[in-house]
Amino acid sequence: MTLTIRSATPDDIDAIVGFIHALAAYEKLAHAVKADPATLARYLFGPHPMAEVLIAETDGAAIGFALFFHNFSTFEGRPGLYLEDLFVKPEARGIGAGRALLARLAQIALDRDCARLEWSVLDWNAPAIAVYRAIGAQPMDEWTVQRLDGDALQALAATAPITA
């Protein structure tokens, strides 16, 4: 069995959608998935891509993915990579695909002169946390993720001053 990591292409969109649904089910968030192939294709492979995807394969079959994008650290004065999602099919876990995806992301971060690679993990996901500790990742205990979406996002945007 040969494990490879490659950049996704538009031909992978159905696999990416499948991975997103499988990840959402694992995280008990299946009800929250709104992504569809056309929208994802536009934002991943359209004229102004907003994110990138790596695909993990064994012998040509997709077994996992990592979706990431650039952020920026004002303190570092340099870009970073933010890993939005990483998922490996349950039947393919234990062969190093997750670690290989993370290693490739680390290499991409270095190649692009990024200061850091960051991500969030659900506090109950002990298997993932164990992998992250094993590769040297550290929790950011003093930080709490904040989110604004839906009606709250719309309400705040409606108060924005007029811009020139």
Q: What are phi and psi of 66, to 5 degrees?
A: -135, 125
Active site residue 132: yes
Annotated active-site residue in 26, 43, 82, 132? 132
Short-list 94, 96, 85, CA closest to 17: 85
CB-based contact 106:116 (threshold 8 Å) = no
Strand partners, 88: 64
Cα–Cα distance, 62 to 91 (Å, whole number): 12
DSSP H/E element including 66: strand 61-73
| β-pairing verdict for 117-119 and 78-88 | parallel
Helix extents (H) in 48-134: 97-111, 126-134
Q: Which residues are catalytic?
A: 132
